[in-house]
Structure 1
Amino acid sequence: MTIIDYADNMIAGVVLAAGLSRRMGQFKPLLPYAQSSIIETTVANLKQAGVGKIIVVTGYRSTEIAQQFLNWDNVLLVKNYNYQHGEMLESVQLGLREVADCVATYVVPGDMPAIAVETFIKLRQCMAQTDAKVVFPTLNGKRKHPPLIKSSCFPAIWNFGGEGGLRVALEQFLVQTVCVPVKDVGCTIDADTWKDYMRLQAYQSSMERT
């Protein structure tokens, strides 16, 4: 698929990287991946997909993450000062406030660098074709990361105070949600644990050989 520059369409990305990496035991955003780090690759994939504005929500070791993006254009870092006690939804809400001027935004876990550029583009094209408010990729019929969320949904997410985080907050828009089938295994692989990280590295190696 041809890579199309969608920056003029004001598509944004919010990358979540505020956590403590407790389960991993090492700080996963800065772990090596591909030719750089997990967090840099995650952001680079968004940029390659034509995302015009990227917000990285940091918390723990925020200064070290900031050092990775000193020379990057259109990448803004926002710190969640409540990262030790807050929920992931709080980071989502902080990020969305920074992209309220955009048409829509991807919400991407910062430890999922294997999501294919083509997947981001498919979601964008689907939203343009269907006028959906939320678009998810699906693999084997199950929803995966990342959702693409239209800005008209942001106020409801900012004001959501229930349990279940973003997943439940987005249930308000089920009627306007569309799913796009993909073959992208990268949508399923994160780095929560060391075993996950090894799987991520193995997947990257297999992709490099194809």
Structure 2
Amino acid sequence: MSSKPVPLGNIVLVILAAGGAKRMGEPKQLLPWQGKTLIEYAIEKALEVHVKNVVVVLGANHSVIKNEIKNYPVEIIVNSEWNRGLGSSISRAVSNLMYVVPNFDGAMFVLADQPFVTSEYLKQMLEHFQPNSKQILTTNYNDGKLGVPTIFDYCYFEELSNLSEDKGANTIIKKYGNFVLSLDAPFENMDIDTKEDYERALKIISKK
């Protein structure tokens, strides 16, 4: 008899998927990718990591997207203020974690529109994460910026819950730079924001 995978730490994985995709012109969460939609693909990668909980934050078009993912074993949170930007979705998720499901060691944040992020890389991040050390783990971008996927220690939950801008958690990352460890991802860390991005991503995946 097979046993269930052991969670890699007391971590919650949060998929941020609330944006209105104005530059795309349609809900990018539902774009086809590898026989699924982008949001389904992101959820399945997250579930492969075997963290304690997976949370999906929806906002724009949440009714149709929620119906698309209703059969996955994830918690769905709707951010009614999604148009205020990424920070509001992080705040909404963390506020829920603090007061509804407490006692996590930390939270990992990923974006639904980064399909080249692998579950292997997310596991690698968890292996580097040291709970109760004020650590922030980020991912290096090609332009030298730090970003998602990111893991925040629980000690930052209060500040994360107060975010409201479209800059995500960059202000917190800069504020606590001494506690930041950044990893180089073994893939192109691109966001799919426009039709051109999507077409380029499809070309890349077709060559693999």
**Distance verdict in 2 for CA 1:67–1:114, change over 3 Å:** same
Give the structure 2 partner of residue 128 of structure 1: 130
Q: Which runs of 5+ in 2 are unaligned?
A: none
Asked if 2 retains the 8 angstrom alpha-carbon contact of 1:60 and 1:83, the reply is: yes
The CA RMSD measured in Å over matched residues stands at 2.4
Q: CA deviation at 1:169?
A: 2.5
- Which has the higher mean CA deviation after the structures are superposed, 142-151 or 111-120? 142-151
Task: Indicate the SS of the match to 1:179.
Answer: strand
Matched-pair contact (CA < 8 Å) for 1:62–1:79: yes
Whether the 8 Å contact between 1:29 and 1:39 is mirrored in structure 2 is yes
Q: Which residue in the other structure is 1:112 paired with?
A: 114
Q: Which deviates more from structure 2 when the two are superposed, residues 123-132 or residues 27-36?
A: 123-132
Cα distance 1:5–1:176, how it changes in 2: closer, same or farther (>3 A)? farther
What TM-score, normalized to structure 2?
0.85
Comparing 31-40 with 50-59, which one deviates more in the overlay?
A: 50-59
Please list, as runs of the form range in 1=range in 2, the aligned pairs for 1:1-210 lying within 5 A after superposition: 5=5, 7=7, 9-73=9-73, 75-84=74-83, 86-100=84-98, 101=102, 102-128=104-130, 131=133, 133-138=135-140, 142-160=145-163, 164-185=167-188, 188-207=189-208
Moved over 4 A (4+): 129-132, 139-142, 160-163
Shift of 1:43: 1.3
For the Cα contact (< 8 Å) 1:17–1:109, is it kept in 2? yes
Contact 1:99–1:105 (Cα < 8 Å) also in 2 = no
Question: CA offset at residue 59 of structure 1?
Answer: 1.2
SS in 2 for 1:9: coil
**Relative to 1, partners in 2 of residues 1:170 and 1:5: Cα closer, same or farther, differing over 3 Å?**
farther
Which stretch has the larger CA shift, 134-143 or 58-67?
134-143
2:132 & 2:183 partners in 1: Cα distance? Answer: 11
In structure 1, stretches of 5+ residues that fail to align are: none
Q: Secondary structure at the match of 2:40?
A: helix
Q: Is the 8 A contact 2:135 2:152 kept in 1?
A: yes
Deviates more, 1:112-121 or 1:161-170: 161-170
What is the aligned-residue identity percentage? 21
Rounded to whole Å, the distance in 2 between the matches of 1:92 and 1:28 is 19
Q: CA 1:121/1:175 → structure 2, altered by over 3 Å: closer, same or farther? A: same
Q: Is the 8 A contact 1:104 1:151 kept in 2?
A: yes
8 Å Cα contact 1:137-1:179 kept in structure 2 = yes
CA shift in 2, pair 1:123/1:131, >3 Å: farther
Contact 1:45 1:113 in 2 (8 A): no
Residue by residue, what CA displacement relative to the aligned partner does 1:17-68 show, whole Å, maximum 9, x if unpaired? 1111110012100010012000111111111112221111111111111112
CA shift, 1:204, in A, is 2.3
How many angstroms does 1:138 deviate by?
Answer: 2.3
- For 1:52-92, what per-residue CA distance to the aligned partner results, in whole angstroms no more than 9, with x for missing partners? 2111111111111111222212x1111111223x1210111
SS of residue in 1 equivalent to 2:76: strand
Instruction: Compute the displacement of 1:144 (Å).
Output: 4.0
Q: Deviations over 1:112-170 (max 9, x none)?
A: 12201121111111113994521112255553421111111111222346784311122
Go from structure 1 to structure 2 and tell me whether the alpha carbon gap of 1:17 and 1:200 turns closer, same or farther (over 3 Å shift).
same
**Contact 2:14-2:109 at 8 Å conserved across structures:** yes
